[in-house]
Amino acid sequence: MINVIGLGYIGLPTALMMASHGVEVVGTDYNEELVATLNAGHTTFKEDGLDELFAEAVKAGIKFTTEYQVTDTYIVSVPTPYDKFSKKVDACHVVAAVKAIMKVCPEGATVVVESTVSPGTIDKFVRPVIEANGFVIGQDINLVHAPERIIPGNMVYELLHNNRTIGADNKYVGEKIKELYSSFCQGDIVVTDIRTAEMTKVVENTFRAVNIAFANELAKICRHDNMDVYEIIKICNMHPRVNILQPGPGVGGHCISVDPWFLVGDYPSLAKVIDESMKTNDGMPDFVLNRIYEIMQEKGLTDIRRVGLYGLTYKENVDDMRESPTLQMLESMERHLCGNLVKVYDPFIEKDEVPNQMHNLDEFLNAIDLVVLLVGHDEIKQNMNKLAGKIVLDTRNICMLEGTYRL
Ligand SMILES: NC(=O)c1ccc[n+]([C@@H]2O[C@H](COP(=O)([O-])OP(=O)(O)OC[C@H]3O[C@@H](n4cnc5c(N)ncnc54)[C@H](O)[C@@H]3O)[C@@H](O)[C@H]2O)c1
């Protein structure tokens, strides 16, 4: 039986996927409300295909509880934020989960850490917890790192089709866990050592952050001298060996805006490009704010209450708001004492999360003169005609209406 610890954006779909592929699974989360929701037959976030997968897993017998189970395999999928001061990974949730596992696990058990961690985290923080409980690693307890790559919005498909990495101390244990993931994963699964697996995951997200930063920097350069960054990127990408990403209002979510900082924190004198890239991306919400003020001046708009931010999530068609550029903008506006004046709307966020949040697109548009498109949800793409007559600042390059302002 597999005990999946942490039933959030990663742990829940992983547990459901395994259960619906014939693996006996119990999911554990210390959040009682979350476990009660799952036990009442409801999923806890929106994701294509998740409800169907949930139904299959429940039919196959998956259980949800707040209790850690006595079993031979644990998968730990708890958050790994970074320390805002040191930039290093904050492994406290992983350590707490492993400590709790040590209280119940029998000898011979395997602990798989799925959470993203910086290279050396398992050695520094996880091994000592296991050893402090009197276990010999590799003899009494096996340790594995199996980082996850799926992207919100396409999780179910990617769980099935992505390639995976398994890091283990010895090949036999690695192959055993590879077999477990092969119950559902149709991609290639590479078995390597733990530190390599830790580093690959962080490097993958860092690669993406640096490339996004390059596009964002181009947007700033082009704005400075009134050049069209989108036209320039389009032409450059016709070169057979150039593939520039699109600029945007910033980076959010639990991965690309977080993981690269681990390398900056651990290698401050070496990770220079990464450090600058993260600062560039983190500076984009303020860049958008400046654009708003420029446009307000140009259009003679003086009332910030007539400005509306479309989109609260960090990417399109998901309900995950963590670290989103819109939240970063609101925080920045708060410091300038106008954070609670702008209107905000997102079709994926039903609960009131920020001041002046509206819940109907038409009412939102009627209440504002300037709309800032921060997320390219399908809803707005399908309703672009409703923006006619509005001043539009489009940070995602999705609005083709005449007179639209861009980054
Ligand atoms: N969200 C993504 O897109 C994504 C993609 C790839 C990898 N990851 C990585 O996966 C890991 C998990 O991220 P997530 O987005 O699923 O986080 P999440 O916040 O959505 O879920 C984590 C869950 O763990 C629970 N939890 C925390 N500590 C616990 C403990 N000690 N015992 C039991 N439950 C506990 C929380 O209640 C929560 O429900 C992170 O390391 C993240 O970097 C995330």
- Strands of 154-232 (E only): list them: 164-168, 189-192
- Out of 282, 315, 347, a domain closes at 282
Q: Which long-range contacts (CB under 8 A, 24 or more apart) does 390-395 make?
A: 390/365, 391/295, 391/299, 391/301, 393/288, 393/291, 393/292, 393/295, 395/248, 395/249, 395/288
Both 231 and 299 in one domain: the answer is no
**Residue 180 and residue 101 share a domain:** yes
> d(Cα 66, Cα 68) in Å, to the nearest integer?
7
In a domain, 211, yes or no: yes
pLDDT at 324: 96
201 is catalytic: yes
Q: Of all residues in the chain, what percent carry a pLDDT higher than 70?
A: 99
Question: What total number of domains does the chain contain?
Answer: 3
Q: Specify whether 277 is located in the same domain as 294.
A: no
Residue 114 scores a pLDDT above 80: yes
Which of ligand 1's atoms lies nearest the C-alpha of 151?
3
45 ligand 1 Cβ < 6 A: no
Is the separation of the CB atoms in 27 and 12 below 8 Å? yes
Please report where in the chains the tokens 């979350």 appear, as a residue: 34
Shared domain check, 375 and 278:
no
Beta strand segments in 269-365, E: 307-310, 343-345, 357-358
Which of 141, 163, 192 is the C-terminal boundary of a domain?
192
Q: Atom of ligand 1 at shortest distance to CA of 10?
A: 16
Mutation test of ligand 1: which of 4, 12, 78, 98 has the most ligand atoms closer than 8 Å to its C-beta?
A: 78
Q: Give the domain CATH number at 302.
A: 3.40.50.720
- Dump pLDDT digits (tens) for 137-196: 999 999 999 999 999 999 999 999 999 999 999 999 999 999 999 999 999 999 999 999
Of 320, 349, 324, 381, give the one whose Cα is nearest residue 155: 320
- 62 shares its domain with 79: yes
Residues 163 and 309 in one domain: no
Nearest-CA residue for ligand 1 atom 37 is: 31
Structural domain of 218: 202-282
Determine, yes or no, domain membership for 197: no
Q: Are residues 311 and 391 in the same domain?
A: yes
Q: Over the stretch 141-151, which tens digit does the pLDDT of each residue have?
A: 999 999 999 99
59 and 171 share one domain: yes
Domain termination residue (choose one: 282, 309, 334): 282
Q: Which is it for the CA torsion 310, 315, 321, 327, positive or negative? A: negative
Q: How far is the centre of ligand 1, averaged over its atoms, from the C-alpha of 332 (Å)?
A: 27
CA atoms of 145 and 178, how far apart (whole Å): 11
**What distance separates the 2 farthest-apart alpha carbons in the chain?**
72
- Same domain? For 270 and 147 the reply is no
Q: The CATH number of the domain where 223 resides is what?
A: 1.10.1040.10
What predicted TM-score, i.e. pTM, was given to this entire model?
0.93
Residues 256 and 289 in one domain: no
Measured distance CA(11)–CA(77) in Å, rounded: 5
pLDDT at 254: 86
Encode pLDDT of 90-106 as tens digits. 999 999 999 999 999 99
State the pLDDT confidence band at 337, using cuts at 50, 70 and 90.
Answer: low
Instruction: Tell whether 385 and 257 lie within a shared domain.
Output: no
Closest by Cα among 136, 143, 135 to 113? 143
Whether the CB-CB separation of 261 and 353 falls below 8 Å is answered with: no
